[in-house]
A and B are shown apart, each in its own frame.
Chain A
């Protein structure tokens, strides 16, 4: 079965550079979430999209932006990168429909290292 696909798997950037992370949800899933997981930390919710509209926003820095496109894939754009942005970034999707109580399917993550 198709899973959530994230690219790239690994990314090394220098401080103040820009990075773009991509997420391809499971087909027919209408909701995409982005999470950030620092070393030894729990995943922190960044932002989510439902039917291509932003549905919720968490602790996402103003330097970050995201969008969901007509084909439901999503991109997380990160500018003016800082050392503290080094983390594992996860995308997840779910067939949320009109309710909650739905498990999220996670991608393998993109490991971003800022040097």
Chain B
């Protein structure tokens, strides 16, 4: 990956539990975004956090950003079976908005 690592690569939990995924990146950024991908389907934007923000919430999602450590985390609270998907972080720098993706975390939520 051009971006860095996502941790863990795979996560298996029970419905109702929380899921935390981590992402590290290498270069300076304008913002960091999280996307979700169901198997073989398109990428769906979840949340965007700007480089001057430290935490952001959207529904059951909570994202943190630590620019000093070049890392971010995505927390999904009270997970549901429908949350089963791959989750990617992607950074957007200064170059006309291209996204650089991390390797993704495969989340499986068991009913």
- Spell out A's residues near B (CB within 8 Å): 31, 33, 35, 41-45, 48, 50, 55-56, 58, 88, 90, 92, 94, 96, 100-109, 111
Interface size on B, residues (CB 8 A): 29
**14 CB-based A-B contacts, threshold 8 Å:** A42-B1, A42-B88, A43-B99, A44-B2, A90-B42, A96-B97, A100-B31, A101-B30, A101-B31, A103-B48, A104-B97, A107-B42, A109-B40, A109-B42
Query: Which of B11-19, B63-71, B73-81, B100-108 contacts its partner?
Result: B100-108
Q: Which of B42-91 contact A (CB under 8 A)?
A: 42-45, 48, 50, 88
Q: How far is the CA of A90 from the CA of B45 in the complex (A)?
A: 14
B97 partner residues in chain A, CB cutoff 8 A:
31, 33, 48, 94, 96, 100, 102, 104
Contacts of A43 in B (CB 8 A): 43, 88, 99, 101
Residues of B within 8 A of A (CB): 1-3, 30-31, 33, 35, 40-45, 48, 50, 88, 92-104
